[in-house]
């Protein structure tokens, strides 16, 4: 794993036992940090607005608002967190992937499936980190070139 930063995760599930199980499973991945757990979309929304989150483990069927609605809302952000749906309802898989879900895990979550989702998330975040670095380098090189042109123009006047 070459992603250089701690991966910040949010667990959103209305069932405490499911949140606890996933939290304990994620503890075995040293470069993952669960920044918060939420029992509703509303509180998850508050967390995402206050704390940087890279990956959200999101249940679909919850009181008041569904995880699908929240994922749709998040997908409209400039830099949305990656979504891994964790649900007992397989019939929502197509809708989840239409919202660009990174993965779709069925409860109870098998260790092997969680590991695959973790690896996929790490790869996606690494690609985003590389793209951001490349963009920063291009911007720096462009500004350096502009500065050299400005210096030449000054000396030629």
pLDDT digits (tens, 9 = 90+) for 35-53: 999 999 999 999 999 999 9
Please state the rounded mean pLDDT for residues 73-93: 92
Query: pLDDT-derived band of residue 98, with 50, 70 and 90 as boundaries?
Result: confident
Strand ranges inside 50-155, DSSP E: 55-58, 82-87, 103-106
81 neighbors 10 (Cβ within 8 angstroms): yes
Question: What confidence score (pLDDT) does residue 93 get?
Answer: 87
The residue among 35, 42, 38, 45 whose CA lies nearest residue 6 is 35
More confident residue, 125 or 11: 11
Return the axis-axis angle of helices 111-156 and 16-26, rounded to nearest 10°. Answer: 60
pTM above 0.85, yes or no: no
Decide if pLDDT at 95 tops 90. Answer: no
Q: Across residues 88-98, what is the average pLDDT?
A: 86
Average pLDDT over residues 132-154: 54
Closest among 54, 88, 59, 87 to 71, alpha carbons compared: 59
Q: Residue 15's pLDDT band (boundaries 50, 70, 90)?
A: very high
**d(C-alpha 50, C-alpha 28), whole Å:** 26
What are the φ/ψ torsions at residue 102 (nearest 5 degrees)? -75, -35
Average pLDDT taken over every residue of the chain: 86
Q: How far is residue 14's CA from residue 91's CA, in Å, rounded to a whole number?
A: 19
Question: What pLDDT sits at residue 67?
Answer: 95
Q: Pick left, alpha or beta for residue 10 (phi over 0 → left; psi -120 to 50 → alpha; otherwise beta).
A: beta
Q: What is the pLDDT of residue 94?
A: 85
């Amino acid at each position: 794993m070459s992603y250089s930063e701690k991966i910040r995760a949010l667990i959103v599930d209305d069932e405490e036992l499911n949140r606890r199980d996933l939290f304990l499973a994620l503890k075995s991945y040293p470069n993952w940090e669960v920044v918060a757990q939420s029992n509703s979309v509303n509180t998850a929304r508050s967390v995402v607005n206050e704390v940087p989150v890279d990956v959200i483990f999101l249940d679909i069927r919850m009181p008041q608002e569904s995880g699908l609605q929240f994922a749709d809302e998040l997908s409209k952000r400039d830099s949305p967190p990656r979504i891994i749906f964790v649900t007992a309802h397989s019939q929502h898989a197509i809708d989840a992937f239409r919202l660009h879900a990174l993965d779709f895990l069925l409860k109870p979550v098998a260790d092997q499936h969680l590991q695959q989702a973790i690896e996929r998330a790490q790869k996606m975040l690494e690609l985003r980190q590389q793209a951001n670095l490349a963009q920063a380098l291009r911007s720096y090189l462009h500004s350096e070139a502009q500065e050299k042109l400005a210096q030449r123009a000054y000396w030629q006047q």
